[in-house]
Structure 1
Amino acid sequence: MGLNLEQIQRVPTITKEKFLREYVALQKPVVIEHLIEDWPAYQKWNLDYINELAGDKTVPLYDDRPITSERKFNEPHTSMKMSEYIDLLNEGSTNYRIFLYNLLKEVPKLQKDFRYPNIGLKFMKRLPFLFFGGSGSKVFMHYDIDFANIFHFHFHGEKQCILFPPSETKYLYKVPHALISHQEIDFTNPDIEKWPALKKAKGYITNLKHGETLYMPEGYWHQMTYLTPGFSMSIRSVPKKMSNFAKATYNVFFMRHFDNFMRKMRGQKWIEYKNTEAIRRTNKTNNV
């Protein structure tokens, strides 16, 4: 038995009014298939083009090793030239990913290749991030610290996206004082006997291809698997719900500082405590 996932609704194009009414107001994800076909990036953005413009840049790389007291969720594991990394991608599967990298700041020419969609959301213009991954590389299940509305544009190849709304948090073995699910869970092929609460979770799934746009509502959990080498860009809009804005404020100004303090005080014991509590609390809440 696998996860209870339904396909994310898809539309070829959409008006601003319909998007706000049927997806933002209802906090439902959607894939817009042809939103960015008028961008230069739609024609130009592939790994060869990135290599041509940014091959000499040193980029931070992440893999799928577990978080420890020494290394946080958003701390890179190594670095290399972008050209070397793209060579790795082209050679075959690699676990190394580029995560939350502001390549657009490093290579301003890329900024001319896209524009912010006129879709009814006010986007944070200084925060377009790029994400790269090799075939088979995975991003573990998490939600974003700022509870933003996210537009996720995919380029070059195909990636699988699994989403859960915030309402399903109680089933996902959330790690206390963190933004992640228990890292031992493989959401692409979960062991339901080991993680029984997952049976109750209802989520969404889709495969994104070149030029497609995924809208992820506020606070949605997301896990990505690169089916082929490729990359994506995300832009963000602040949460509209006051409750989510309050949660974002708590995360940014208290939770992450408390977690960092406890890491320093207790080290790996703090990480082990949180992982144990993720299991205990979830199973107790769900009587499993």
Structure 2
Amino acid sequence: MMQTFTDLAERSNLLWLQRVRLGSSDYITLSQLQQHDYRLLQSVRLCQRYLRQQRDDMPFWLNAVLNNHVAELDKILALPFALSAQVLLAELWLALQQKNKAHYFEQYCRPEQSQFICLLADKPAAGRLFRAMQDFDIRSAIQIAGHSGLTMQRAALQQLAADNTLDTASLAELNYSLYLLGHHIDEYDIVQQLQSAECLTPRQLQLLLLGASAEHKVRIVNALCISDIALAVNAMGFSGLAKFCPLLLEIAREPAHHAAAQSALITMLGA
């Protein structure tokens, strides 16, 4: 039975919206995400086959990916989507056109493109991009070295630590990347540096707490309770320390922090 245009486009759009939400979920496995990506790609391939002409009633993202509007790096970054959705669009386009990620890496030439490139890069590509980033976006070079596990660049990062021209955010990110690459730095100190530089993210906090001792976990939570209650709630959940359960239950009664506290309790105790 032939599927109508509406069937194809609506199914693809539903899968797209689900995928965007799943990307920020703490409770989905990599395997589940990959399975969903496969279903989304297969659905978009059907649209590519049967819906080649642009239509006003087609979802904006689908029009963009089917009409090559995301082939150029600057064009995809200009689309009104969150960065993670832009990366997802790029990966869909690459799969549809049977191209590899080098298509975008070869267009990389400006700092404002760096975050997108960092998210798209795998480890082999990250090693090559690290050198290019050093020339015009040192902070992104620091980030990609840590996130991609570029241990061969640890010496280069240690040399940067002596650079007095680095701003406080770049220096904090540098110490975090060195920590990820195995350099011993106190987790509490890194949290304080990132927080003071106003660049501490929940993901960074999670990884630092995974490596911290119970004593340092308590110090980190106590410090964040003074400066940022939302991050403090996240830290309680990431810490895995049962002593924070009563406090999280109390915080969960506050409407402003209910969802975050519930999420922290699930992280700590399971569903």
Alignment TM class, shorter chain as reference: under 0.3
Report which of the two has the higher share of helix.
2
**Which of the pair has more CA radius of gyration?**
2
TM-score, normalised to structure 2, is 0.25
TM-score, normalised to structure 1, is 0.24
Report which of the two has the higher share of strand.
1
